[in-house]
Every structure is written in C-alpha cells, then in structure tokens.
Amino acid sequence: MANPTNLSRRMTLSNIVQAITTYGPISRASVAKMTGYSKQTVSEIVSSLEEDGWVQTVGRTEGNVGRRAVVYEIVPDAALVASVDLGGTKVRVALCNLSGAVVAEVAEPTCKDGGEAVVDQIARMVNGATSNLGIAPSKIRVAVIGVPGVPDLETGHINLAPNIIGIDRIDFSSLLRVRLGIEVIVENDVNLAALGEHWMTHQGDKDDLVFLSIGTGIGAGVVIGGQLVRGATGGAGEVGFIPFGADPTEPESLKVGALERVTATSAIVGGYQQETGMQKTVPEIFDAFVAGEEAAAKVLQTAASYIARTIGAIAAVIDPNCVVIGGSIGAREELIRMIEQEIARNFPRSIPVEASVLGNHAALAGGTAVALSRLHIALFARDLPGANIVVPPPEIETFQEGAA
C-alpha cells in the first residue's frame, strides 16, 4: 500500500511522510492540521504506513487538555543507506538509518590495486558491516559513493582521479551496482562535502553555500538553492583552474591550475623552501608560524591572500551566504583568521567564512544526505513533479571528526 499508483494519492502520502519525518514524533491530528488534510485521510494513510512497517507509535501525549493523542514516528531502521567516502588513502563506509543515525562505520586503507579491486573492497566492506550487525543486507536500499575525481554519468568512468589507478577505465558505478544489487550514486567527494555541511549545519536560511577544500589541491563544492551545481561538464567548483595567481598560460598552470599553484600544499612547501632553503611539511610550517617564525608567517600570509582572493572570485560570481573551509590545510584556525583579514583587504564587502564543522567526515555526511533524500523519493514520491524531500539531519556529533 505504500506505493499507490494514483498520482494524487502518492502526493498525499509523500506530504504526510514528509511531515512525520520532519516533525515526528507527531500525532495524526497534528499532521492533519499541518498538512491541511482531514483527520480521516491522515488516519487512513498512517495506518497503511504502519501496516507496511514504515511508521510506528511511540507513546502518547500527556498533560494537554483533551484526549491523549497517539504519537507516531518513522521506523528508523525500516531501511538503511550506505555512504562511502573513497579517498586516495582510506575508504570510509557508514551505514545510516532513516533518521540519519550511523548504525555502523568502518574504515580501511584503500586497496592499492585500484580499478575493480576497489569495487570489490567497497562491496565487501558494505556487506561486511551488515553481517557484523546481524542486519539483512536487503535493508540497504541506496549507496552513495564519494570519489576524488569527476564521475562521468554516461560512461561510469571516474576521471581526474590520479590517486586511484585504473578507476578512469572501468564503469565504476555499474560494476558496484551489480555487486551490491542496489541503486548506486557516484559523486565527487568535495561536492558531497558541500552537501554534507549544508545538510548538517546550514539548512534553511542559508541555502547558497560553497565548501572550499584546501589540501594537496584546492577545489570547491557549490550548493545553490539547496541544490548541488555540477556544471555542464561536471567541472563546477574546480576553482584551482581560475586563471589568475600563477601565470595561467604556463603548461604547469594548464595542467594543475593557475590558482592551485599558489594556494595548495606545494605552494606553501615550495614558498617556504625558497624563503629559507629548508624543506618542511605543511604542519611543520604551521608549527613554526605559531612559534613566531617570520618566514613561515610570510609564506602562509601569501597563501592566505590568494585563498582570500579565490573566495572573492567565487563571491563575485555566485555570492553565496557562506564559504565553509575544509581540507588538511583549510582546517587550520590560524589560516582562517588570516583569510578573513585578507578578504577585508581585497574585496569590497564581507564574506562569511567558517571552518568546516565536520572535518574529514563531511563527504560521508553529504553522501548520507543524498542517499536518504533519494531513498525517500524512491519510497514515497516516485515520479512526483518537483519532489525534493529534505530529511532532517541527525545530531551533529553523528558525523563529527573522530567518530571513526
């Protein structure tokens, strides 16, 4: 009964499920008031949902005048989704239930053989997580994979992912779909991180958000109106290629990006070496800066200036509510302070800049958001025009650093 053929019934069902999901636990009378449907219609649909195991009672109201209301909520474990963050060095898998809670999380070093071996690894980790918990694998309905590259929706290849060999020559999503037997969505990891930050911390009032990841490279995920912007060729957010900073006509700039050459790891390490003749890692340079070393300050200042100007360029094009900064370099509070100062010097208005709250779990959270939204649509809003169910995020701790 949870999948009526009729369009208007599906719409009603979808609206009622959305209300229970967002405001649950909630009584049928309240749902009726909120949605505008009659109590009787709500009762009818809620009982069909209960029969099919999608909602359950969780007690009754108390203390109010009048008859006590029976209160319903979504059955959290009625279905699960898998969110996978496939990194160059580590694979993270989280199984989440319908309320966004993580029921299992595992991490492993990425299989160095690349290609199909990685597909095998992910499938094994996802299935392993269910069997450990004694959950039927069929409970998992959707898997979202964050990958460090640009997925080609037509061929299933993942391009520009130098860290995982051979993944640009296999139909990654189809192979994984066959292996897992469920719907598989492949998305760039920075894009997912942007969606994750938006879902967990910036929903509602601030619907235009850019997640800027700064580490060995620099890249952004762009969310406008709550929707991810991928671009015509999947190249949206490749801000390292903004043709300013280093001379954009040099071959190296065309290869890694003119702006990436002055903002990412190599710029800081290289700049420090030029300044001092010494080879230090980025964390070491930050330590030196905190200890008051002038060369370190100068190098970081230069990077911060270019990063600020990158943010200015982004703001000039799409004017987001907020820029969230993450990545191994971007996560440093000291750097964010400098970036804020540099924005004030280089751009006519202020741009809200924040440190990522989710750290290296942002992509995992974003994958969960995408998977849950997709699952809700598949379950309760099939073929509905303009359907875009927003699942409320779980507690922030769920996805915070150190959870795995």
Nearer to a copy of itself, 269 or 313 (CB): 313
Instruction: Please name the residues in contact with 245: beta carbons below 8 A apart, sequence gap of 6 or more.
Output: 258, 259, 260, 261, 262, 263, 306, 309
Residue 204 interacts with a copy of itself (CB under 8 A): yes or no:
no
Amino acid in the structure at residue 202: H
> Cα(first)–Cα(last) distance of the chain, in Å?
39
Amino acid in the structure at residue 397: E
List the single partner that 30 binds among a copy of itself, DNA, none, CB under 5 to 8 Å by kind: DNA
Residue 231 interacts with a copy of itself (CB under 8 A): yes or no:
yes
Residue 127 interacts with DNA (CB under 7 A): yes or no:
no
Closest CA to 240 of 230, 248, 232: 248
Give the binding range for a copy of itself (CB under 8 A) out of 92-100, 116-124, 326-334, 380-388: 380-388
List the single partner that 204 binds among DNA, a copy of itself, none, CB under 5 to 8 Å by kind: none
For tokens 């909602």, what's the residue?
A: 55
Q: Which of 5, 63, 349, 402 binds a copy of itself (CB under 8 A)?
A: 349
Beta strands of 239-309 (E only): which ranges?
none
Q: Which of 131, 233, 273, 279 binds a copy of itself (CB under 8 A)?
A: 233
- Work out how close the CB of 206 gets to a copy of itself at its nearest, in angstroms, rounded to a whole number: 8
Residue 3 interacts with DNA (CB under 7 A): yes or no:
no
List the single partner that 320 binds among DNA, a copy of itself, none, CB under 5 to 8 Å by kind: a copy of itself
Instruction: Please name the residues in contact with 337: beta carbons below 8 A apart, sequence gap of 6 or more.
Output: none
List the single partner that 346 binds among DNA, a copy of itself, none, CB under 5 to 8 Å by kind: a copy of itself
Q: Which two three-digit tokens encode residue 245?
A: 């900073």
Nearer to a copy of itself, 125 or 242 (CB): 242
d(CA 179, CA 177) in angstroms, rounded, equals: 5
d(CA 404, CA 386) in angstroms, rounded, equals: 36
d(CA 69, CA 33) in angstroms, rounded, equals: 13
Instruction: Please answer whether residues 103 and 77 qualify as being in contact, where contact means their C-beta atoms are separated by less than 8 angstroms.
Output: yes
Instruction: Please answer whether residues 283 and 266 qualify as being in contact, where contact means their C-beta atoms are separated by less than 8 angstroms.
Output: no
Q: Which of 39, 90, 169, 337 binds DNA (CB under 7 A)?
A: 39
Give the binding range for a copy of itself (CB under 8 A) out of 127-135, 251-259, 272-280, 355-363: 251-259
DSSP 158: E
Nearer to DNA, 16 or 375 (CB): 16
**Total site size for DNA, rule CB under 7 A:** 31
> x/- binding map, residues 50-69, to DNA, per CB under 7 A?
----------xxxxxxxxxx
β-bridge mates for residue 108, sequence order: 91
- Work out how close the CB of 358 gets to a copy of itself at its nearest, in angstroms, rounded to a whole number: 21
Nearer to a copy of itself, 48 or 244 (CB): 244
Closest CA to 331 of 311, 363, 360: 360
Contact residues: DNA, CB under 7 A: 4-6, 8-9, 11-12, 27-30, 36-41, 43, 45, 47, 60-70
